């Protein structure tokens, strides 16, 4: 049992820092098990009163503390598990400290640690305190000079900014000195030392400055950084064109590391990436990997302005940099790969991750008001819903005012740490309009339900729309306000053609209705005939929409809605209803046939993009269906979903077979959107055919795997074979392992694939794999590939009636918590939604959560999430 309940940090308790740091000189003597860190800080009082100096520091062995050159005696200061406190200090002074740390023993991958024999750092959010004494909060911005000395085996010595000096030391080691001219919070500090190959390039910025670009990777891997380099250059150009933002240093570096808790980190001038989000070639990376690399490289680069030059005042403002930067990377991807397809993928991800979070006990506002561990708030809500809010803002105020507001924000806040209020104020000023009610989107948790009812008056040629909104209660927020919800909509005639109408006397094809009260009525005029309503086009707000549309309207939309998002959405709605009906024991066989036929027609549309067709064929996920069913029954959902896929396999056998044969890549491989789209459609066709495992389909799957010339096709073949099961699958699986056993990123895929096995034996297989020699739970990529994928990506097997899946996950969480709390906590989410499941399952899930919270020595990270998941309110 925990002995004391940890105390939350609250937004309302924010106080400006008592002392500011103008400059910091760091001197690292790098030794894997005993690194010495000397720090010299120029501090000055920030306010009128003399206050004690309190610096953060954890797991530091203090060697010395001195003020203005005078070493302090032990009684002049106090050190506990979290702080160094000096009761009396001058108004301005130099503080010098020396500590010893043990990077080799740092398994939390937070602070300074070793990965693959190299030193590297991760300081966001609160890792810098594991390196030296410092006010570890984002509103203390300092200029950094970093000197490091290491054995020459640590070939590259890197830190933020510009290299000032480097050379040999008399004792045969070497050193480097870096200076970063831009003041920054300590969470953006980075250091890397080790043997690395480099891929070099350069770019001339909009003002004609040449910037050197370097990507550092494992020896022998620089070819695999070529795609990331290309993505980096495109990102840099795009930010100049779309936001007028130019890069500011003469050097931009990225380092790829294998052991990393998250995806990547935007340290000033020295981004550090999880190697899974950087390295790619056609043999080892899938198209999905390429896509993610492109967007994460862009994301971290875009942080240079939205995050680094302008940072957060405190961690409650996390969405200020993350939501905005996700919005920027999604806009970039839309420009690179096609707006409709990108939007559909973003919404699928939002629904799968954010909607479930928002409808469970871990729901929180995009700007939360309290936390125990900020690491737990790097959530889909802060990132993805944070981005949706920016998108709505742009829809509401228009592209021009949006750009004006962004310019004002960059202008006003450059070089500062600020708040979400200050950000929104820039748009209010640009627009000359109050945006207070819009701000509620940041403070209110939960996914609004929007409903639209129609009344058509044939005589008057009017369409009356009744819109309502409600937001269900979330923990700690029982009553909800109406939010300003932009609903983009248009009308179609019975053939799916655009039907023009008038709004406020103006003839239009499309309009944005802002629903900002619980209820609103709106009458559109000049509506020539009874229309099909195409509402919430482009998913103009992160809400759950219901309407009174009949299935026939959805078929019209699926065939022809000019808004491609809604064309896709109509198919999703139809499929969702059919699967929910079947899993409730009331299958609509006729409806299923009709649906399969309509999908067949959509597939034969020559004008449509293959990537879009692949998305049409991709049914709502089991996780998404579980959200729509009360209580959720994962086994029934799995069967219902497979039944509908089986219906497509049989009904569209010929069409799918033709697609699969016809789309084979003959020319040279290209990871671009067009090539990826063709492969996606071909693999999706195979995936569906594999539900109907007769000999011809089994042979097709095996042939696909055998002939694969790239990782996308190899995984597509393997995954189809897995659905069919049996000897051919086991053979391919063994063959794949032999072929790729020396490639960690590929072996991650091998583990993840098996974690998704649909058969009864899946949990047994996963348990067996935890004893595989290649399973290394200390590596987050490997751990998530197996454990995370099983719990979050295989609902039917995770929710086994025996509770064995839950027990497995809880055991893993408790074991990982012993050495890496941040990553352990991120595994907990699948247990969080226990109240939404069939009561017998929910009870078993709850029991595991209770076992977790009562575990001796549990970290704050896991404690916070497990106790919130159990809380009654
Ligand atoms: N700021 C990073 C990003 O979104 C996220 C991140 C990387 C992170 N590593 C982390 C957050 C460690 C918390 C802890 O780009
Ligand atoms: Zn980010």
Whether 560 and 662 share a structural domain: no
% helix / strand / coil in the chain, to the nearest 5? 45, 20, 35
Domain count, the chain: 5
- CATH number of domain containing 69: 2.60.40.1730
pLDDT tens digits for range 60-84: 999 999 999 999 999 999 999 999 9
Q: With a 6 A CB cut-off, is 125 part of the ligand 1 pocket?
A: yes
Whether 868 and 762 share a structural domain: yes
Q: With a 6 A CB cut-off, is 375 part of the ligand 1 pocket?
A: yes
The residue with tokens 């699969």 is: 660
CB 205 within 8 A of CB 236: yes
Whether 764 and 752 share a structural domain: yes
Q: Whose CA is nearest to atom 5 of ligand 1?
A: 265
pLDDT tens digits for range 491-550: 999 999 999 999 999 999 999 999 999 999 999 999 999 999 999 999 999 999 999 999
Whether 710 and 749 share a structural domain: no
Q: Which atom of ligand 1 lies closest to the CA of 260?
A: 9
| DSSP label of 20 | E
Grouping H, G, I as helix, E, B as strand and the rest as coil, residue 654 is helix
- CATH number of domain containing 336: 1.10.390.10
Q: Answer whether residue 495 is part of any domain.
A: yes
Choose the final residue of a domain: 415, 443, 471: 443
Q: Ligand 2 mean position to 318 CA, how many Å? A: 9
Q: Which atom of ligand 1 lies closest to the CA of 303?
A: 15
Q: Answer whether residue 205 is part of any domain.
A: no
Whether 718 and 827 share a structural domain: no
pLDDT tens digits for range 149-161: 999 999 999 999 9
- How far is residue 336's CA from residue 238's CA, in Å, rounded to a whole number? 10
Share above pLDDT 70 across residues of the chain, in percent, rounded to a whole number: 100
Which of 106, 108, 123, 124 is the best mutation target for the ligand 1 pocket, counting ligand atoms within 8 Å of the beta carbon and taking the most?
124
| 300 in catalytic set | yes
Q: With a 6 A CB cut-off, is 124 part of the ligand 1 pocket?
A: yes
The model carries a pTM of: 0.98
Q: Answer whether residue 396 is part of any domain.
A: yes
Question: For residue 433, what are the domain limits?
Answer: 311-443
Q: Ligand 1 mean position to 271 CA, how many Å? A: 11
The residue with tokens 């109907």 is: 692
Share above pLDDT 90 across residues of the chain, in percent, rounded to a whole number: 99
pLDDT tens digits for range 620-639: 999 999 999 999 999 999 99
pLDDT tens digits for range 418-462: 999 999 999 999 999 999 999 999 999 999 999 999 999 999 999
DSSP bridge partners of 312: 418
Q: With a 6 A CB cut-off, is 187 part of the ligand 1 pocket?
A: no
Round the average pLDDT of the chain to a whole number and report it: 97
Q: Answer whether residue 840 is part of any domain.
A: yes
pLDDT attached to residue 45: 98
- How far is residue 648's CA from residue 26's CA, in Å, rounded to a whole number? 63
Q: Measure Cα distances from 646 to 595, 610, 611, 776 in Å.
A: 12, 21, 21, 37
Length of the chain: 873
Tell whether omega for the bond before 650 is within 30 degrees of 0, i.e. cis. no
The sheet that has 191-194: what strands, in order across it?
Answer: 111-115, 118-122, 191-194, 156-159
Q: Whose CA is nearest to atom 12 of ligand 1?
A: 124
Q: Answer whether residue 202 is part of any domain.
A: no
The residue with tokens 């991807």 is: 333
pLDDT attached to residue 872: 83
- CATH number of domain containing 517: 2.60.40.1840
Choose the final residue of a domain: 193, 216, 234: 193
Whether 747 and 685 share a structural domain: no
Q: Answer whether residue 381 is part of any domain.
A: yes
**Run of H or E residues at 27:** strand 19-29
**Among the bound ligands, the one closest to the CA of 324:** 2
| DSSP label of 261 | S
698 backbone dihedrals φ, ψ, rounded to 5°? -60, -40
| pLDDT value at 873 more than 70 | no
| pLDDT value at 4 more than 80 | no
Whether 19 and 167 share a structural domain: yes
Which of 108, 113, 122, 256 is the best mutation target for the ligand 1 pocket, counting ligand atoms within 8 Å of the beta carbon and taking the most?
122
pLDDT attached to residue 5: 82
Q: Which atom of ligand 1 lies closest to the CA of 374?
A: 13
Q: Which residue among the candidates 98, 300, 384, 848 is catalytic per the annotation?
A: 300
| DSSP label of 153 | T
- CATH number of domain containing 745: 1.25.50.10
DSSP bridge partners of 204: 210
219 backbone dihedrals φ, ψ, rounded to 5°? -50, 135
Grouping H, G, I as helix, E, B as strand and the rest as coil, residue 307 is coil
- How far is residue 40's CA from residue 147's CA, in Å, rounded to a whole number? 12
- How far is residue 461's CA from residue 143's CA, in Å, rounded to a whole number? 67
Q: Which residues of 549-561 are buried (b: 16+ CB within 10 A; e: fewer)?
A: bebebbbbbbbbb
Q: With a 6 A CB cut-off, is 126 part of the ligand 1 pocket?
A: no
Q: Ligand 1 mean position to 260 CA, how many Å? A: 10
Q: Ligand 1 mean position to 130 CA, how many Å? A: 16
- How far is residue 809's CA from residue 847's CA, in Å, rounded to a whole number? 12
- How far is residue 718's CA from residue 716's CA, in Å, rounded to a whole number? 6
CB 220 within 8 A of CB 197: yes
Q: Ligand 1 mean position to 847 CA, how many Å? A: 31
Q: Ligand 1 mean position to 263 CA, how many Å? A: 7
Q: Answer whether residue 729 is part of any domain.
A: yes
Q: Measure Cα distances from 122 to 115, 138, 375, 781 in Å.
A: 11, 15, 12, 16
pLDDT attached to residue 1: 46
pLDDT tens digits for range 317-339: 999 999 999 999 999 999 999 99
- How far is residue 791's CA from residue 794's CA, in Å, rounded to a whole number? 6
Tell me the CB-side half-sphere exposure of residue 342, using CA atoms within 13 A: 19
Q: Which of 65, 49, 67, 194 has its CA nearest to residue 120?
A: 194
Whether 373 and 464 share a structural domain: no
Whether 769 and 680 share a structural domain: no
pLDDT attached to residue 177: 99
pLDDT attached to residue 601: 97
Q: With a 6 A CB cut-off, is 122 part of the ligand 1 pocket?
A: yes
Q: With a 6 A CB cut-off, is 261 part of the ligand 1 pocket?
A: yes
Whether 364 and 439 share a structural domain: yes
Choose the final residue of a domain: 411, 443, 475: 443
Q: Which atom of ligand 1 lies closest to the CA of 266?
A: 15
- How far is residue 451's CA from residue 328's CA, in Å, rounded to a whole number? 30
pLDDT attached to residue 50: 93
Q: Answer whether residue 622 is part of any domain.
A: no
Whether 604 and 497 share a structural domain: yes
Q: Ligand 2 mean position to 431 CA, how many Å? A: 27
CB 723 within 8 A of CB 712: no
pLDDT attached to residue 667: 86
pLDDT attached to residue 2: 53
125 backbone dihedrals φ, ψ, rounded to 5°? -90, -40
Whether 715 and 789 share a structural domain: no
pLDDT tens digits for range 372-401: 999 999 999 999 999 999 999 999 999 999
DSSP bridge partners of 41: 24, 95
Which structure tokens are listed for 555? 């078929």
Q: With a 6 A CB cut-off, is 266 part of the ligand 1 pocket?
A: yes
Q: Whose CA is nearest to atom 3 of ligand 1?
A: 265
Q: Which of 411, 390, 379, 404 has its CA nearest to residue 305?
A: 411
pLDDT tens digits for range 731-782: 999 999 999 999 999 999 999 999 999 999 999 999 999 999 999 999 999 9
């Amino acid at each position: 049992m925990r002995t004391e309940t940890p105390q939350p940090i609250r937004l309302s308790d924010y106080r400006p820092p008592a002392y500011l740091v103008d400059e910091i000189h760091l001197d690292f003597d790098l030794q894997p098990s005993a690194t010495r860190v000397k720090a010299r800080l120029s501090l000055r009082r920030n306010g009128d009163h003399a206050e004690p100096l309190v610096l953060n520091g954890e797991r530091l062995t203090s060697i010395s503390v001195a003020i203005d050159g005078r070493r302090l005696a032990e009684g002049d200061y106090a050190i506990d598990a979290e702080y160094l406190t000096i009761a009396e200090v001058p108004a301005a002074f130099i503080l010098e400290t020396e500590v010893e740390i043990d990077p080799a023993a740092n398994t939390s991958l937070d602070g300074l640690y070793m990965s693959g024999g190299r030193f590297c750092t991760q300081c966001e959010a609160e890792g810098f305190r594991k390196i030296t004494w410092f006010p570890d909060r984002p509103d203390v911005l300092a200029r950094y000079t970093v000197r490091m000395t290491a054995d020459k085996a640590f070939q590259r010595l890197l830190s933020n900014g510009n290299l000032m000096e480097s050379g040999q030391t008399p004792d045969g080691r070497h050193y480097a000195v870096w200076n970063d001219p831009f003041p920054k919070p300590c969470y953006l500090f980075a250091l890397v030392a080790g043997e690395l190959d480099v891929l070099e390039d350069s770019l001339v910025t909009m003002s004609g400055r040449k910037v050197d670009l370097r990507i550092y990777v494992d020896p022998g891997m620089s070819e695999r950084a070529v795609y990331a380099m290309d993505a980096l250059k495109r990102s840099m150009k795009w930010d100049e064109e779309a936001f007028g933002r130019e890069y500011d240093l003469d050097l931009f570096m990225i380092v790829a590391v294998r052991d990393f808790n998250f995806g990547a980190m935007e340290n000033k001038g020295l981004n550090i990436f999880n190697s899974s989000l950087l390295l790619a070639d056609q043999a080892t990376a899938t198209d999905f990997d390429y896509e993610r690399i492109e967007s994460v490289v862009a994301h971290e680069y875009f942080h240079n302005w939205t995050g680094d030059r302008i940072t957060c005042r405190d961690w409650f403002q996390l969405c200020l940099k993350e939501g905005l930067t996700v919005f920027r990377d999604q806009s970039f991807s839309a420009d690179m790969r096609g707006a409709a397809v990108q939007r559909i993928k973003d919404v699928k991800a939002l629904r799968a991750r954010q909607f479930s979070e928002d409808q469970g006990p871990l729901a929180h506002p995009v700007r939360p008001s309290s936390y125990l561990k900020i690491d737990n708030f790097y959530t889909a809500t802060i990132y993805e819903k944070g981005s949706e809010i920016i998108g709505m803002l742009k829809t509401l105020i228009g592209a021009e005012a949006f750009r004006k507001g962004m310019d004002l924000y960059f202008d006003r806040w450059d070089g500062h740490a600020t708040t979400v209020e200050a950000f929104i104020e820039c748009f209010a000023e640009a627009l000359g309009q109050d945006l207070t009610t819009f701000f509620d989107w940041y403070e209110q948790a939960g996914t609004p339900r929007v409903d639209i009812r129609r009344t058509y008056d044939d005589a008057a040629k009017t369409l009356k729309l009744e819109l309502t909104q409600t937001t269900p209660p979330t923990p700690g927020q029982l009553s909800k306000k109406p939010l300003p919800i932009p609903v983009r909509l248009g009308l179609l005639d019975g053939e799916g053609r655009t039907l023009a109408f008038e709004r406020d006397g103006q003839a239009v094809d499309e309009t944005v209705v802002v629903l900002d009260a619980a209820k609103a009525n709106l009458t559109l005029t000049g509506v020539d005939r009874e229309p099909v309503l195409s509402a919430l086009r482009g998913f103009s707000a992160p809400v759950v929409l219901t309407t009174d549309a009949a299935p026939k309207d959805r078929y019209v939309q699926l065939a022809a809605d000019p808004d491609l998002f809604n064309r896709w959405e109509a198919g999703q709605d139809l499929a969702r209803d059919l699967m929910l009906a079947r899993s409730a024991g009331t299958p609509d066989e006729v409806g299923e046939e009709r649906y399969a036929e309509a999908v067949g027609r959509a597939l034969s549309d020559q004008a449509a993009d293959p990537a879009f067709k692949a998305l049409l064929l991709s049914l709502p996920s089991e996780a998404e269906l579980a959200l729509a069913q009360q209580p959720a029954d994962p086994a029934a959902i799995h069967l219902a979903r497979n039944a509908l896929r089986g219906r497509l396999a049989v009904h569209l056998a010929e069409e799918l077979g033709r697609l699969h044969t016809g789309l084979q890549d003959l020319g040279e491989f290209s990871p671009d959107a067009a090539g990826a789209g063709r492969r996606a459609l071909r693999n999706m066709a195979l995936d569906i055919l594999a539900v109907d495992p007769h000999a011809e389909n089994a042979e097709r799957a095996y042939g696909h795997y055998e002939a694969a010339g790239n990782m996308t096709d190899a995984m597509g073949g393997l995954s189809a074979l897995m659905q069919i099961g049996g000897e051919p699958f086991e053979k391919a699986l063994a063959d794949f392992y032999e072929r790729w056993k020396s490639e960690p990123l590929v072996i991650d895929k091998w583990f993840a694939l098996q974690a998704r096995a649909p058969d009864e034996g899946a949990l047994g297989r996963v348990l067996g794999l935890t004893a595989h020699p290649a399973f290394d739970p200390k590596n987050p990529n490997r751990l998530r590939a197996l454990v995370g994928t099983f719990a979050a990506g295989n609902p039917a097997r995770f929710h086994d009636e025996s509770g064995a899946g839950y027990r497995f996950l809880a055991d893993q969480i408790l074991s990982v918590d012993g050495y890496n709390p941040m990553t352990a906590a991120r595994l907990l989410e699948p247990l969080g939604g226990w109240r939404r499941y069939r009561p017998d399952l929910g009870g078993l899930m709850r029991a595991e959560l209770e076992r977790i919270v009562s575990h001796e020595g549990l970290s704050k990270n896991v404690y916070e999430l497990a106790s919130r998941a159990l809380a009654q309110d």
